[in-house]
Structure 1
Amino acid sequence: MRERRCVVTGEVREEADLVRMALGPDSELVPDLAAKLPGRGAWVSAERSLIEKAVKKSAFNRAFGCPVKMPEDLPGLVEGQLVARALSLLGLARRSGDLAVGYDAVRLALKSAKPAWRIEASDGAEDGRSKLDRLAFAAWGDVPVAGCFTAEAIGDATGRAPVVHAAMSKGSQARAFTTVMGKLSGFRPLVLQG
């Protein structure tokens, strides 16, 4: 993994912990989550408070050496793009057969192999989530849980009715999902406490 320097803290960190910002043709700052847009980029730690600080302290102006037009609510824009990317990865995992969806399918998946992630809808009932928590812990110990998306959002991403429970198998989608969720954790809690 390549390393970059955060424009706010000056820390050198892995790209997986940072968000790249690029300049559009009109000098407007554009979040570049995939780090593929052309031109020189500026990197900032994937945390709401540090992006807010970068905007307040004009860190992007210094990084690019010119006045930069800031989009309204840059941290919210980055968070929205991270959420969209995470949900897109759930849809890709579903289509590739790497995502078990629904209580019974997740229960069976937990009995056969350790998942890379469990996905629990933030608006799902505590009862079903706690049963799967106990089953996962008894079988595999600690399994990461993404509980920050609504059942409707997960359902839309996976092409199904609202989805409360899902489990993602290990593989390329899970690795990408882990990176995105690591960044998203700087903007919202991954598991909402009810």
Structure 2
Amino acid sequence: MDGDSLEGAAPDGTMSRRCIVSGASAPAARMVRFVVGPDALIVPDVDNRLPGRGLWLSADRDMVETAASKRLFAKAARSNVTVPANLADLVADLLRRRCLNHLGLARRAGLVTTGGEKVRAQIATGHVAVLLEAADGSPQERRKFTALAPQAPVVDAFTSSELSAALGRDNVIHVALAEGRLTRTILDDAARYGGLKRPPVI
């Protein structure tokens, strides 16, 4: 990430970056990085690995759309750039895939518990760091599970079919994640995805 400007670091070493739209600083893990590609195209770098100077945005759909419409990418890059159409949708899809891929890795690492009774039992052990609840699951059932683990953050950005495909299971509604690096990554990615996904049509 050569050329990125480090705004500061927390005592735990967490990097902070500044949004080119709002000017607000936040942990890099909760923001979205962009770079200018060789063809002057703005490229989302949700893995924070591409070479070049990073242009950072808060993980918010309005911020991405504002940066695109007001030519703030060009201003921050100090050069003419091309912004892909529907950039916010592109970023949201990349984050969705990244989060679900990491969820599959977490299953293979032994951090995942699925199924109503097994999740209840895992909650009873006190070793649940994050709960995932299917977006299309029963609101009543969701409230029951979240009440059992009030200290655990809840991610409800994914449908049952998305969770099932990521975990290689059928009809996944409730998921518990144990503490671990992958769990923290999933929580950060889910927060970013939640800010970028298109609002449901009512």
> Structure 1-normalised TM-score?
0.88
Give the structure 1 partner of residue 185 of structure 2: 176
Instruction: Pick from 22, 33, 39 the counterpart of residue 52 of structure 2.
Output: 39
Q: 1:10-159 counterparts in 2 under 5 A?
A: 10-136=23-149, 141-159=150-168
Contact 2:89–2:197 at 8 Å: present in 1 too? no
User: In the superposition, relative to structure 1, how do residues 49 and 111 fare at CA in structure 2: closer, same or farther (>3 Å)?
Assistant: same
Contact 2:102–2:186 at 8 Å: present in 1 too? yes
Distance (whole Å) between structure 2 residues aligned to residue 134 and residue 11 of structure 1: 33
Give the structure 1 partner of residue 15 of structure 2: 2
The one-letter code of the counterpart of 1:10 is: G
Distance (whole Å) between structure 1 residues aligned to residue 23 and residue 147 of structure 2: 42
Aligned length: 186
Distance (whole Å) between structure 1 residues aligned to residue 29 and residue 156 of structure 2: 21
Distance (whole Å) between structure 2 residues aligned to residue 55 and residue 131 of structure 1: 42
Q: Give 1:188 shift.
A: 4.7
Give the structure 2 partner of residue 160 of structure 1: 169
Distance (whole Å) between structure 2 residues aligned to residue 96 and residue 35 of structure 1: 23
Runs of 4+ in 1 over 6 A off after TM superposition: none
Q: Give 1:62 shift.
A: 1.2
Local SS of the residue matching 1:132: helix
Local SS of the residue matching 2:32: strand
Distance (whole Å) between structure 1 residues aligned to residue 191 and residue 156 of structure 2: 13
Considering only aligned residues, what root-mean-square deviation do their CA atoms show, in Å? 1.8
Structure 1 window deviating more from structure 2 (123-132 vs 88-97): it is 123-132
> Structure 2-normalised TM-score?
0.85
Q: What are structure 2's unaligned runs of at least 5 residues?
A: 1-13
Contact 1:118–1:165 at 8 Å: present in 2 too? yes
Q: Give 1:8 shift.
A: 0.9
The one-letter code of the counterpart of 1:142 is: Q
The one-letter code of the counterpart of 2:139 is: E
Give identity over the alignment, percent.
37
The one-letter code of the counterpart of 1:40 is: R
Contact 2:35–2:50 at 8 Å: present in 1 too? yes
